[in-house]
Chains A and B, each alone.
Chain A
Protein backbone atom coordinates (compact mmCIF):
# COMPACT_ATOMS: atom_id res chain seq x y z
CA UNK A 1 0.00 0.00 0.00
CA UNK A 2 2.36 2.72 -1.29
CA UNK A 3 -0.25 5.50 -0.91
CA UNK A 4 -0.51 5.10 2.88
CA UNK A 5 3.24 4.85 3.45
CA UNK A 6 4.81 7.62 5.51
CA UNK A 7 8.48 8.35 4.99
CA UNK A 8 10.77 10.40 7.15
CA UNK A 9 14.13 11.93 6.34
CA UNK A 10 17.18 10.11 7.61
CA UNK A 11 18.88 12.33 10.24
CA UNK A 12 22.22 10.99 9.02
CA UNK A 13 21.77 13.05 5.87
CA UNK A 14 22.32 16.77 5.67
CA UNK A 15 20.16 18.53 3.07
CA UNK A 16 20.20 22.08 1.84
CA UNK A 17 18.54 23.99 -0.94
CA UNK A 18 21.21 25.72 -2.97
CA UNK A 19 19.84 27.84 -5.81
CA UNK A 20 17.04 25.63 -7.12
CA UNK A 21 18.53 22.30 -6.14
CA UNK A 22 18.43 20.16 -3.03
CA UNK A 23 21.88 18.83 -2.14
CA UNK A 24 21.98 15.69 0.01
CA UNK A 25 25.10 14.69 1.88
CA UNK A 26 25.31 11.50 3.95
CA UNK A 27 27.36 12.27 7.02
CA UNK A 28 28.55 8.71 7.37
CA UNK A 29 30.17 8.34 3.95
CA UNK A 30 33.76 9.16 3.07
CA UNK A 31 34.22 12.93 2.81
CA UNK A 32 36.17 12.58 -0.43
CA UNK A 33 33.60 10.32 -2.06
CA UNK A 34 32.17 12.56 -4.75
CA UNK A 35 29.63 9.88 -5.71
CA UNK A 36 28.12 10.08 -2.24
CA UNK A 37 26.74 13.58 -2.81
CA UNK A 38 23.28 13.72 -4.39
CA UNK A 39 21.45 16.60 -5.96
CA UNK A 40 17.75 16.82 -6.69
CA UNK A 41 17.56 19.28 -9.51
CA UNK A 42 14.06 19.23 -10.97
CA UNK A 43 11.25 21.25 -9.38
CA UNK A 44 9.01 18.24 -8.66
CA UNK A 45 11.85 16.36 -6.93
CA UNK A 46 12.65 19.45 -4.85
CA UNK A 47 8.98 19.77 -3.86
CA UNK A 48 8.72 16.08 -3.02
CA UNK A 49 11.78 16.29 -0.78
CA UNK A 50 10.34 19.32 1.00
CA UNK A 51 7.05 17.49 1.59
CA UNK A 52 8.63 14.46 3.25
CA UNK A 53 8.17 15.19 6.94
CA UNK A 54 7.47 11.90 8.70
CA UNK A 55 3.76 12.79 8.93
CA UNK A 56 2.30 13.04 5.42
CA UNK A 57 1.68 9.82 3.59
CA UNK A 58 2.33 9.41 -0.12
CA UNK A 59 -1.29 10.22 -1.01
CA UNK A 60 -1.11 13.57 0.79
CA UNK A 61 2.23 14.34 -0.83
CA UNK A 62 0.75 13.52 -4.24
CA UNK A 63 -2.21 15.84 -3.58
CA UNK A 64 0.09 18.70 -2.63
CA UNK A 65 2.19 18.25 -5.76
CA UNK A 66 -0.89 18.13 -7.97
CA UNK A 67 -2.03 21.45 -6.48
CA UNK A 68 1.18 23.08 -7.62
CA UNK A 69 2.30 21.30 -10.79
CA UNK A 70 0.47 20.43 -13.99
CA UNK A 71 1.18 16.73 -14.21
CA UNK A 72 -1.00 13.70 -14.91
CA UNK A 73 -1.85 11.85 -11.63
CA UNK A 74 -0.84 8.44 -13.05
CA UNK A 75 2.50 9.77 -14.24
CA UNK A 76 3.10 11.53 -10.92
CA UNK A 77 2.26 8.35 -8.98
CA UNK A 78 4.81 6.42 -11.03
CA UNK A 79 7.42 9.16 -10.61
CA UNK A 80 6.87 9.35 -6.85
CA UNK A 81 7.27 5.60 -6.56
CA UNK A 82 10.57 5.73 -8.44
CA UNK A 83 11.74 8.79 -6.54
CA UNK A 84 10.99 7.31 -3.12
CA UNK A 85 12.61 4.07 -4.23
CA UNK A 86 15.78 5.94 -5.19
CA UNK A 87 15.86 7.88 -1.90
CA UNK A 88 15.35 4.67 0.07
CA UNK A 89 18.14 3.01 -1.89
CA UNK A 90 20.66 5.67 -0.95
CA UNK A 91 19.32 5.78 2.61
CA UNK A 92 18.09 9.38 2.54
CA UNK A 93 14.62 8.37 3.78
CA UNK A 94 13.37 5.69 6.11
Chain B
Protein backbone atom coordinates (compact mmCIF):
# COMPACT_ATOMS: atom_id res chain seq x y z
CA UNK B 1 0.00 0.00 0.00
CA UNK B 2 1.48 3.35 -1.02
CA UNK B 3 1.17 6.13 1.55
CA UNK B 4 0.04 9.31 -0.20
CA UNK B 5 1.32 12.75 0.72
CA UNK B 6 -1.29 15.38 1.51
CA UNK B 7 -0.14 17.30 -1.58
CA UNK B 8 -0.90 14.19 -3.64
CA UNK B 9 -4.30 13.73 -2.01
CA UNK B 10 -5.14 17.35 -2.77
CA UNK B 11 -4.10 16.90 -6.41
CA UNK B 12 -6.40 13.89 -6.65
CA UNK B 13 -9.27 15.80 -5.01
CA UNK B 14 -8.84 18.56 -7.58
CA UNK B 15 -8.84 16.00 -10.40
CA UNK B 16 -12.09 14.54 -9.05
CA UNK B 17 -13.54 18.03 -8.94
CA UNK B 18 -12.68 18.52 -12.62
CA UNK B 19 -14.83 15.49 -13.38
CA UNK B 20 -17.71 15.94 -10.95
CA UNK B 21 -17.64 19.67 -10.33
CA UNK B 22 -19.35 19.24 -6.99
CA UNK B 23 -16.59 18.44 -4.55
CA UNK B 24 -15.23 21.92 -3.94
CA UNK B 25 -16.26 21.73 -0.28
CA UNK B 26 -14.11 18.59 0.07
CA UNK B 27 -11.16 20.43 -1.47
CA UNK B 28 -11.56 23.43 0.83
CA UNK B 29 -12.06 21.28 3.93
CA UNK B 30 -8.96 19.32 3.10
CA UNK B 31 -6.89 22.48 2.66
CA UNK B 32 -8.19 23.91 5.96
CA UNK B 33 -7.62 20.78 7.98
CA UNK B 34 -4.45 19.20 6.61
CA UNK B 35 -0.83 20.21 6.60
CA UNK B 36 0.08 20.52 2.92
CA UNK B 37 3.53 20.85 1.41
CA UNK B 38 2.60 23.58 -1.07
CA UNK B 39 5.83 23.34 -3.04
CA UNK B 40 5.19 19.67 -3.75
CA UNK B 41 1.56 20.46 -4.58
CA UNK B 42 2.68 23.20 -6.95
CA UNK B 43 5.10 20.81 -8.68
CA UNK B 44 2.42 18.15 -8.96
CA UNK B 45 -0.22 20.35 -10.54
CA UNK B 46 2.31 21.76 -12.99
CA UNK B 47 3.56 18.27 -13.85
CA UNK B 48 -0.01 17.08 -14.35
CA UNK B 49 -0.98 20.29 -16.19
CA UNK B 50 -3.86 21.01 -13.82
CA UNK B 51 -2.83 24.55 -12.99
CA UNK B 52 -5.68 26.44 -14.74
CA UNK B 53 -8.45 24.45 -13.08
CA UNK B 54 -6.71 24.71 -9.70
CA UNK B 55 -6.63 28.50 -9.98
CA UNK B 56 -10.30 28.60 -11.04
CA UNK B 57 -11.26 26.50 -8.01
CA UNK B 58 -9.17 28.43 -5.52
CA UNK B 59 -9.08 31.99 -6.88
CA UNK B 60 -11.54 33.26 -4.29
CA UNK B 61 -9.79 31.43 -1.47
CA UNK B 62 -6.42 33.17 -1.55
CA UNK B 63 -6.37 33.23 2.27
CA UNK B 64 -6.03 29.44 2.35
CA UNK B 65 -2.93 29.35 0.16
CA UNK B 66 0.58 30.77 0.72
CA UNK B 67 0.87 34.05 -1.26
CA UNK B 68 3.82 32.86 -3.35
CA UNK B 69 1.90 29.75 -4.44
CA UNK B 70 -1.23 31.79 -5.15
CA UNK B 71 0.80 34.17 -7.33
CA UNK B 72 2.26 31.19 -9.19
CA UNK B 73 -1.23 29.82 -9.81
CA UNK B 74 -2.50 33.19 -10.99
CA UNK B 75 0.44 33.77 -13.33
CA UNK B 76 0.20 30.25 -14.73
CA UNK B 77 -3.54 30.59 -15.22
CA UNK B 78 -3.29 33.83 -17.21
CA UNK B 79 -0.37 32.50 -19.22
CA UNK B 80 -2.39 29.42 -20.12
CA UNK B 81 -5.51 31.49 -20.83
CA UNK B 82 -3.64 33.90 -23.13
CA UNK B 83 -2.03 31.00 -24.96
CA UNK B 84 -5.37 29.20 -25.33
CA UNK B 85 -7.05 32.35 -26.63
CA UNK B 86 -4.43 32.67 -29.35
CA UNK B 87 -4.71 28.98 -30.24
CA UNK B 88 -8.51 29.16 -30.33
CA UNK B 89 -8.44 32.27 -32.50
CA UNK B 90 -6.08 30.56 -34.93
CA UNK B 91 -8.13 27.38 -34.88
CA UNK B 92 -11.31 29.25 -35.85
CA UNK B 93 -9.43 30.97 -38.68
CA UNK B 94 -8.17 27.58 -39.87
CA UNK B 95 -11.68 26.09 -39.67
CA UNK B 96 -12.99 29.02 -41.72
CA UNK B 97 -10.32 28.50 -44.39
CA UNK B 98 -11.01 24.74 -44.55
CA UNK B 99 -14.75 25.44 -44.85
CA UNK B 100 -14.05 27.78 -47.75
CA UNK B 101 -12.43 24.84 -49.53
CA UNK B 102 -15.17 22.48 -48.36
CA UNK B 103 -12.46 20.33 -46.80
CA UNK B 104 -13.52 18.83 -43.47
CA UNK B 105 -11.31 18.85 -40.41
CA UNK B 106 -11.90 17.65 -36.92
CA UNK B 107 -10.13 18.97 -33.83
CA UNK B 108 -8.34 16.50 -31.60
CA UNK B 109 -7.69 16.57 -27.86
CA UNK B 110 -8.02 19.91 -26.03
CA UNK B 111 -9.68 21.95 -28.76
CA UNK B 112 -12.44 19.41 -29.20
CA UNK B 113 -13.46 19.68 -25.55
CA UNK B 114 -14.05 23.42 -25.36
CA UNK B 115 -17.65 24.29 -24.68
CA UNK B 116 -18.49 20.61 -24.44
CA UNK B 117 -16.78 18.78 -21.62
CA UNK B 118 -15.06 21.94 -20.34
CA UNK B 119 -17.15 25.13 -20.02
CA UNK B 120 -14.64 27.41 -21.74
CA UNK B 121 -11.06 27.72 -22.91
CA UNK B 122 -9.70 28.74 -19.52
CA UNK B 123 -10.15 25.35 -17.83
CA UNK B 124 -7.49 23.31 -19.57
CA UNK B 125 -4.04 24.17 -20.85
CA UNK B 126 -3.21 23.54 -24.50
CA UNK B 127 0.15 23.41 -26.21
CA UNK B 128 -0.70 23.36 -29.89
CA UNK B 129 -3.52 22.89 -32.39
CA UNK B 130 -4.18 19.28 -33.34
CA UNK B 131 -6.46 18.67 -36.28
CA UNK B 132 -7.37 15.51 -38.15
CA UNK B 133 -7.94 15.57 -41.92
CA UNK B 134 -8.62 12.81 -44.41
CA UNK B 135 -5.35 11.39 -45.73
CA UNK B 136 -6.33 12.22 -49.30
CA UNK B 137 -6.84 15.88 -48.27
CA UNK B 138 -3.41 16.24 -46.71
CA UNK B 139 -1.86 18.19 -49.58
CA UNK B 140 -4.79 20.58 -49.69
CA UNK B 141 -4.61 21.02 -45.91
CA UNK B 142 -0.93 21.92 -46.23
CA UNK B 143 -1.66 24.42 -49.02
CA UNK B 144 -4.40 26.08 -46.98
CA UNK B 145 -2.11 26.47 -43.98
CA UNK B 146 0.77 27.79 -46.09
CA UNK B 147 -1.63 30.37 -47.57
CA UNK B 148 -2.42 31.42 -44.00
CA UNK B 149 1.23 32.10 -43.25
CA UNK B 150 2.21 28.74 -41.77
CA UNK B 151 5.43 26.99 -42.69
CA UNK B 152 5.87 23.27 -42.85
CA UNK B 153 8.22 21.97 -40.09
CA UNK B 154 9.96 18.85 -41.25
CA UNK B 155 12.74 19.13 -38.68
CA UNK B 156 15.49 18.45 -41.19
CA UNK B 157 13.78 15.27 -42.37
CA UNK B 158 12.02 14.54 -45.61
CA UNK B 159 8.27 14.73 -46.00
CA UNK B 160 8.36 11.08 -47.07
CA UNK B 161 9.77 10.24 -43.62
CA UNK B 162 6.91 11.97 -41.85
CA UNK B 163 4.33 10.38 -44.11
CA UNK B 164 5.78 6.92 -43.59
CA UNK B 165 6.80 7.00 -39.94
CA UNK B 166 4.41 9.51 -38.40
CA UNK B 167 0.72 10.25 -38.44
CA UNK B 168 1.06 14.02 -38.49
CA UNK B 169 2.99 16.87 -40.07
CA UNK B 170 3.65 20.07 -38.14
CA UNK B 171 3.15 23.63 -39.39
CA UNK B 172 4.43 26.70 -37.58
CA UNK B 173 3.29 30.30 -37.81
CA UNK B 174 5.31 33.08 -36.23
CA UNK B 175 2.83 35.63 -34.88
CA UNK B 176 5.62 37.87 -33.58
CA UNK B 177 9.33 37.39 -32.76
CA UNK B 178 8.30 35.83 -29.44
CA UNK B 179 5.00 34.18 -30.26
CA UNK B 180 4.27 31.28 -32.55
CA UNK B 181 1.51 28.76 -33.11
CA UNK B 182 2.13 25.11 -33.93
CA UNK B 183 -0.48 23.16 -35.86
CA UNK B 184 -0.18 19.41 -36.13
CA UNK B 185 -2.13 18.07 -39.08
CA UNK B 186 -2.93 14.40 -38.43
CA UNK B 187 -4.24 12.02 -41.03
CA UNK B 188 -4.64 9.11 -38.63
CA UNK B 189 -4.80 8.50 -34.89
CA UNK B 190 -1.78 6.21 -34.84
CA UNK B 191 1.32 5.39 -36.83
CA UNK B 192 1.05 3.19 -39.86
CA UNK B 193 0.72 -0.39 -38.73
CA UNK B 194 -0.13 -3.69 -40.35
CA UNK B 195 -3.77 -2.98 -39.56
CA UNK B 196 -4.80 -0.11 -41.73
CA UNK B 197 -6.94 1.86 -41.27
CA UNK B 198 -7.39 1.25 -37.55
CA UNK B 199 -10.85 2.81 -37.23
CA UNK B 200 -12.42 2.70 -40.73
CA UNK B 201 -15.76 4.14 -39.63
CA UNK B 202 -14.21 7.16 -37.91
CA UNK B 203 -15.14 9.83 -40.48
CA UNK B 204 -18.63 8.40 -41.05
CA UNK B 205 -19.26 8.69 -37.31
CA UNK B 206 -18.22 12.33 -37.02
CA UNK B 207 -20.85 14.92 -36.21
CA UNK B 208 -20.98 18.48 -37.56
CA UNK B 209 -21.56 21.33 -35.12
CA UNK B 210 -21.63 25.08 -35.49
CA UNK B 211 -18.95 26.54 -33.26
CA UNK B 212 -18.72 30.32 -33.09
CA UNK B 213 -19.95 30.62 -36.67
CA UNK B 214 -17.86 27.81 -38.15
CA UNK B 215 -19.00 24.38 -39.27
CA UNK B 216 -16.70 21.93 -37.56
CA UNK B 217 -16.83 18.14 -37.51
CA UNK B 218 -16.24 16.35 -34.22
CA UNK B 219 -15.23 12.77 -33.58
CA UNK B 220 -17.86 10.60 -31.97
CA UNK B 221 -17.47 10.09 -28.25
CA UNK B 222 -16.23 6.53 -28.84
CA UNK B 223 -13.59 7.58 -31.38
CA UNK B 224 -12.53 10.43 -29.08
CA UNK B 225 -11.91 7.81 -26.39
CA UNK B 226 -9.73 5.92 -28.90
CA UNK B 227 -7.90 9.10 -29.90
CA UNK B 228 -7.05 9.94 -26.29
CA UNK B 229 -5.88 6.43 -25.59
CA UNK B 230 -3.77 6.21 -28.75
CA UNK B 231 -2.16 9.55 -28.05
CA UNK B 232 -0.35 7.92 -25.13
CA UNK B 233 1.69 5.85 -27.54
CA UNK B 234 3.64 8.87 -28.69
CA UNK B 235 5.85 9.24 -25.63
CA UNK B 236 3.94 12.16 -24.27
CA UNK B 237 3.36 12.63 -20.58
CA UNK B 238 1.69 9.23 -20.36
CA UNK B 239 0.78 9.51 -16.69
CA UNK B 240 -0.43 13.13 -16.80
CA UNK B 241 -3.68 13.64 -14.95
CA UNK B 242 -4.75 16.25 -17.51
CA UNK B 243 -5.31 13.50 -20.07
CA UNK B 244 -6.92 11.30 -17.43
CA UNK B 245 -9.33 14.11 -16.52
CA UNK B 246 -10.18 14.58 -20.22
CA UNK B 247 -11.11 10.95 -20.55
CA UNK B 248 -12.93 10.79 -17.20
CA UNK B 249 -14.97 13.92 -17.99
CA UNK B 250 -15.87 12.62 -21.44
CA UNK B 251 -16.98 9.19 -20.23
CA UNK B 252 -18.78 10.62 -17.20
CA UNK B 253 -20.69 13.11 -19.33
CA UNK B 254 -21.75 10.66 -22.05
CA UNK B 255 -21.93 7.49 -19.98
CA UNK B 256 -25.52 6.70 -20.91
CA UNK B 257 -24.83 7.14 -24.65
CA UNK B 258 -21.45 5.48 -25.11
CA UNK B 259 -21.56 2.53 -27.47
CA UNK B 260 -19.23 0.17 -25.62
CA UNK B 261 -19.94 -2.59 -28.13
CA UNK B 262 -18.35 -0.44 -30.86
CA UNK B 263 -15.39 0.29 -28.59
CA UNK B 264 -14.87 -3.35 -27.66
CA UNK B 265 -15.26 -4.54 -31.25
CA UNK B 266 -12.77 -2.10 -32.76
CA UNK B 267 -10.30 -2.33 -29.91
CA UNK B 268 -10.04 -6.03 -30.74
CA UNK B 269 -10.07 -5.64 -34.54
CA UNK B 270 -7.52 -2.82 -34.49
CA UNK B 271 -5.49 -4.44 -31.71
CA UNK B 272 -5.64 -1.49 -29.35
CA UNK B 273 -7.16 -3.24 -26.33
CA UNK B 274 -4.15 -2.73 -24.09
CA UNK B 275 -3.81 0.97 -24.84
CA UNK B 276 -7.47 1.39 -24.06
CA UNK B 277 -7.24 -0.65 -20.87
CA UNK B 278 -4.29 1.47 -19.72
CA UNK B 279 -6.26 4.68 -20.22
CA UNK B 280 -9.41 3.37 -18.55
CA UNK B 281 -7.39 2.05 -15.62
CA UNK B 282 -6.00 5.57 -15.16
CA UNK B 283 -9.56 6.91 -14.90
CA UNK B 284 -10.06 4.51 -11.98
CA UNK B 285 -7.34 6.39 -10.14
CA UNK B 286 -9.59 9.45 -10.05
CA UNK B 287 -12.88 7.65 -9.54
CA UNK B 288 -13.45 3.91 -9.79
CA UNK B 289 -17.18 4.36 -10.43
CA UNK B 290 -16.84 5.84 -13.90
CA UNK B 291 -15.71 2.76 -15.82
CA UNK B 292 -17.71 -0.40 -15.48
CA UNK B 293 -15.71 -3.42 -14.32
CA UNK B 294 -17.41 -5.46 -17.05
CA UNK B 295 -15.90 -3.21 -19.75
CA UNK B 296 -12.42 -3.62 -18.31
CA UNK B 297 -12.91 -7.39 -18.17
CA UNK B 298 -14.34 -7.58 -21.69
CA UNK B 299 -11.23 -5.95 -23.12
CA UNK B 300 -9.58 -9.29 -22.43
CA UNK B 301 -6.16 -7.98 -21.45
CA UNK B 302 -4.04 -10.78 -19.90
CA UNK B 303 -3.95 -10.89 -16.10
CA UNK B 304 -0.21 -10.25 -15.80
CA UNK B 305 -0.47 -7.19 -18.03
CA UNK B 306 -3.43 -5.80 -16.09
CA UNK B 307 -1.49 -6.17 -12.85
CA UNK B 308 1.58 -4.53 -14.37
CA UNK B 309 -0.51 -1.61 -15.67
CA UNK B 310 -2.21 -1.01 -12.33
CA UNK B 311 1.09 -1.24 -10.47
CA UNK B 312 2.79 1.18 -12.83
CA UNK B 313 -0.04 3.72 -12.61
CA UNK B 314 -0.39 3.63 -8.83
CA UNK B 315 3.34 3.62 -8.17
CA UNK B 316 4.43 6.25 -10.66
CA UNK B 317 1.67 8.78 -11.31
CA UNK B 318 2.81 10.93 -8.42
CA UNK B 319 6.49 10.06 -8.44
CA UNK B 320 9.20 12.02 -10.17
CA UNK B 321 11.82 9.32 -9.67
CA UNK B 322 13.19 7.29 -12.62
CA UNK B 323 10.90 9.04 -15.04
CA UNK B 324 12.73 7.75 -18.11
CA UNK B 325 12.47 4.17 -16.94
CA UNK B 326 8.80 4.65 -16.10
CA UNK B 327 8.02 6.00 -19.53
CA UNK B 328 9.92 3.27 -21.29
CA UNK B 329 8.24 0.59 -19.17
CA UNK B 330 4.84 2.17 -19.74
CA UNK B 331 5.43 1.95 -23.45
CA UNK B 332 5.59 -1.85 -23.26
CA UNK B 333 2.18 -1.78 -21.57
CA UNK B 334 0.43 0.11 -24.36
CA UNK B 335 0.44 -2.54 -27.08
CA UNK B 336 -1.33 -5.84 -27.53
CA UNK B 337 1.84 -7.51 -28.83
CA UNK B 338 5.43 -7.32 -27.60
CA UNK B 339 6.84 -6.65 -31.08
CA UNK B 340 5.08 -3.40 -31.73
CA UNK B 341 6.77 -1.43 -28.91
CA UNK B 342 10.16 -2.92 -29.78
CA UNK B 343 9.67 -1.96 -33.41
CA UNK B 344 8.52 1.50 -32.31
CA UNK B 345 11.54 2.08 -30.10
CA UNK B 346 14.00 0.94 -32.77
CA UNK B 347 12.31 3.16 -35.34
CA UNK B 348 11.32 5.94 -32.98
CA UNK B 349 10.43 9.15 -34.84
CA UNK B 350 12.86 11.98 -34.26
CA UNK B 351 10.32 14.18 -32.54
CA UNK B 352 9.51 11.57 -29.91
CA UNK B 353 13.18 10.75 -29.49
CA UNK B 354 13.90 14.41 -28.73
CA UNK B 355 11.01 14.66 -26.29
CA UNK B 356 12.07 11.49 -24.50
CA UNK B 357 15.66 12.60 -23.97
CA UNK B 358 14.79 16.23 -23.26
CA UNK B 359 16.33 17.70 -26.43
CA UNK B 360 14.83 20.57 -28.30
CA UNK B 361 12.75 18.93 -31.02
CA UNK B 362 14.19 19.40 -34.52
CA UNK B 363 17.53 20.72 -33.18
CA UNK B 364 20.79 19.64 -34.82
CA UNK B 365 21.79 17.74 -31.69
CA UNK B 366 18.48 15.84 -31.63
CA UNK B 367 18.80 15.11 -35.32
CA UNK B 368 22.37 13.82 -35.02
CA UNK B 369 21.72 11.66 -31.96
CA UNK B 370 18.53 10.35 -33.50
CA UNK B 371 20.54 9.08 -36.47
CA UNK B 372 22.90 7.39 -33.98
CA UNK B 373 20.06 6.30 -31.69
CA UNK B 374 20.88 2.61 -31.47
CA UNK B 375 24.29 3.57 -30.06
CA UNK B 376 23.03 6.48 -27.98
CA UNK B 377 19.99 4.86 -26.36
CA UNK B 378 21.85 2.65 -23.85
CA UNK B 379 24.03 5.62 -22.74
CA UNK B 380 21.37 8.29 -22.79
CA UNK B 381 18.91 6.17 -20.90
CA UNK B 382 19.63 7.71 -17.52
CA UNK B 383 19.88 11.29 -18.65
CA UNK B 384 17.35 13.63 -17.01
CA UNK B 385 14.15 14.21 -18.94
CA UNK B 386 12.54 17.59 -19.30
CA UNK B 387 8.85 17.89 -19.87
CA UNK B 388 8.42 19.61 -23.16
CA UNK B 389 4.67 19.80 -22.82
CA UNK B 390 4.63 21.02 -19.22
CA UNK B 391 4.71 24.63 -18.22
Residues of A within 8 A of B (CB): 14, 16, 18, 23, 25, 27-32, 34, 36-37
Nearest chain A residue, comparing its CB with the CB of B78: A37
A-B complex: 9 closest residue pairs judged by Cβ atoms? A28-B176, A30-B178, A25-B82, A14-B89, A14-B85, A27-B175, A37-B82, A31-B179, A25-B85
B83: Cβ under 8 A from any A Cβ: yes
Tally B residues with Cβ within 8 Å of A. 17
Partner of B81, one of A23, A29, A30, A32: A23
In angstroms, how far is the closest chain A Cβ from the Cβ of B213?
Answer: 14
Residues of B within 8 A of A (CB): 75, 78-79, 81-83, 85-86, 88-89, 120-122, 175-176, 178-179
In Å, the complex CA distance between A23 and B80 comes to: 12
Partner of B176, one of A23, A27, A34, A37: A27
Chain A residues within an 8 Å CB radius of B78: 34, 37
Partner of B179, one of A28, A34, A37: A28
Q: List 24 A-B contacts (CB under 8 A).
A: A14-B85, A14-B86, A14-B89, A16-B121, A18-B81, A18-B122, A23-B85, A25-B81, A25-B82, A25-B85, A25-B86, A27-B86, A27-B89, A27-B175, A28-B175, A28-B179, A29-B176, A29-B179, A30-B178, A30-B179, A31-B82, A31-B83, A31-B179, A34-B79
Chain B residues within an 8 Å CB radius of A36: 82
In Å, the complex CA distance between A29 and B179 comes to: 7
Chain A residues within an 8 Å CB radius of B120: 18
Partner of B85, one of A16, A28, A30, A34: A16
In angstroms, how far is the closest chain B Cβ from the Cβ of A45?
Answer: 18
In angstroms, how far is the closest chain B Cβ from the Cβ of A90?
Answer: 14
> B79 to A32, Cβ gap below 8 A?
yes
In Å, the complex CA distance between A8 and B81 comes to: 24
In Å, the complex CA distance between A68 and B341 comes to: 63
Chain A residues within an 8 Å CB radius of B81: 18, 23, 25, 37
> B178 to A29, Cβ gap below 8 A?
yes
In angstroms, how far is the closest chain B Cβ from the Cβ of A12?
Answer: 9
Chain B residues within an 8 Å CB radius of A18: 81, 120-122
Nearest chain A residue, comparing its CB with the CB of B71: A34
In angstroms, how far is the closest chain B Cβ from the Cβ of A88?
Answer: 20
Beyond the given A23-B81, A31-B179, could you list 12 further A-B residue pairs with CB under 8 A, ordered by the A residue number?
A14-B85, A16-B88, A25-B81, A27-B89, A27-B175, A27-B179, A31-B79, A31-B82, A31-B83, A34-B78, A36-B82, A37-B82
In Å, the complex CA distance between A27 and B120 comes to: 20
Nearest chain B residue, comparing its CB with the CB of A28: B176
